[in-house]
Structure 1
Amino acid sequence: MLKDTHSSAGSSPVWDELNRAQPDTTQLDNIKTQIDLVLLALESLAGIGSEAMLQAASALNLESKIPDRVTLWRLRQSNPLRKGEGGRKKLDIEEARSLVLISCFLAKQHQELIRRAIDLLEQAAQNDSEPHRTAMLGDYLDAFNNTYLERMEDDRNISTENLTQLAFKLLVDLLFYSSPGGHRRLWLALLDRSQK
């Protein structure tokens, strides 16, 4: 069913919708970081890895853009915050769109889990309790913080409080990206954030 909706990614209605808003070169550079962080939040919450991302690429008929783990790794390494120089490459607009579609596809697959996490976050806020004391949110925060500190260059420049705020902001964002039209919301959010 998904293959029909996204058949031939280069000419699908979803792809055409993403084509309407064209980022300039500077925006595209900034978008790399944001997409990688969205994927990092999904990884941390749902425990997914590159295999799930490649399966999503296959289901969305995007194998020509992201055919294997090496390509996926190189695209994610294009995030300027990432440690290491080995895989860096420029992210082109087609690859950015592909990662947006994959991110939203995976968010939709894990929507129930995302909703549960958001419910727990809201309960913690209502009860004026620390969210990390809830097992699910604590596990998410640990996974997010550890992965961020392991992969990103600015690991010494970000406080634990800021990292926690980033993790929870991305969690809330995932709920929007998992809904119908999530790909459009994510693309517009990426364009908006890339101008700041």
Structure 2
Amino acid sequence: MTDSNTELINQEKSDKSEITILKTLPDLILPPPSGMMRVQQQLDLLLLALEALQLGGSEYMLAIGKELELNPIIKNRLSLWRLRCSNPWRKCYTRESLSLAQVKALTLITVKCAKKFVLPIRQLLVAAQQMEDKGMPLENNFRLSEYFSRFRSHFLRRMNHRRAKVSIYASSPDELNKLALSLLEELLFYTGIRGEERLWVKIFDGEVLN
């Protein structure tokens, strides 16, 4: 490795250590790759649900990243895409484990976006409950149908259908809708007080090595 490359890597580490908001989440020892795969998958799916809430969702995530001053970690659309490709269900799976700073960054963006989108999240969940109470298909509701359609499109286009679980979802619209709805329910949980800490604990539940 050249001196210039070493200097660049050291500078990047220094930049990340100076991101104040990362310090709001406690440091911990990351689980082994098998555990990280689940963590990275969960974060990407939550972001996928947020994208499906409205058009231009990925651009909104970048704006949130900038607002949180996470630019040293998420510089642009490509860097965000690379982080999300750590999800083993993805067609473009990179087989890389995220660093502690990268996981923190995705966690903070997920919760901040969820809080911004709390109104449509609540509206969709209320609509789902009303449709269930009436014994009617959820997709008969226009807003739910639109959300399910966007989520389905994102999921089927980006995920590897050769993965067993992905294949099940791809062949069952009802199961995929259930996944999309369960992700909204989870996101709503993080819109409350200390939402960042709630997600931080949840994604590492059973995976953290002490």
Of 124, 133, 137, 2:140 maps to 133
Q: What is residue 107 of structure 2 aligned with on the other side?
A: 100
Q: How much does 1:179 deviate?
A: 2.0
**Kept after mapping to 1: 8 A contact 2:36/2:97:** no
Q: What is residue 5 of structure 1 aligned with on the other side?
A: none
Give me the TM-score of the superposition, normalised by structure 2: 0.80
Q: How much does 1:82 deviate?
A: 0.4
Of 167, 177, 182, 1:156 maps to 167
Q: What is residue 76 of structure 1 aligned with on the other side?
A: 84
Q: What is residue 18 of structure 1 aligned with on the other side?
A: 25
Of 47, 52, 56, 1:44 maps to 52
C-alpha spacing 1:111/1:90, structure 2 compared with 1 (3 Å): same
Runs of 4+ in 1 over 6 A off after TM superposition: none
Secondary structure of 1:124's partner?
helix
Give, in whole Å, the separation in 1 of the partners of 2:149 and 2:207. Answer: 27
Of 159, 165, 187, 2:178 maps to 165
Worse-superposed segment, 20-29 or 63-72: 20-29
Give, in whole Å, the separation in 1 of the partners of 2:29 and 2:119. Answer: 32
- Superposed CA offset, 1:88-107 (max 9, x none): 64311211110010011111
1:126 alignment partner AA:
D
1:43 alignment partner AA:
E
C-alpha spacing 1:194/1:164, structure 2 compared with 1 (3 Å): farther
**Kept after mapping to 2: 8 A contact 1:75/1:88:** no
The answer on 1:177 being equivalent to 2:198 is no
Give, in whole Å, the separation in 1 of the partners of 2:133 and 2:84. Answer: 36
**Kept after mapping to 2: 8 A contact 1:54/1:69:** yes
Worse-superposed segment, 126-135 or 155-164: 155-164
**Kept after mapping to 1: 8 A contact 2:51/2:58:** no
Q: What is residue 64 of structure 1 aligned with on the other side?
A: 72
Q: How much does 1:20 deviate?
A: 4.7
Secondary structure of 2:74's partner?
coil
Worse-superposed segment, 15-24 or 182-191: 15-24
Secondary structure of 2:148's partner?
helix
C-alpha spacing 1:146/1:194, structure 2 compared with 1 (3 Å): farther
Give, in whole Å, the separation in 2 of the partners of 1:123 and 1:183. Answer: 29
**Kept after mapping to 2: 8 A contact 1:9/1:60:** no
Equivalent residue pairs, number: 185
The RMSD of aligned alpha carbons is: 2.1
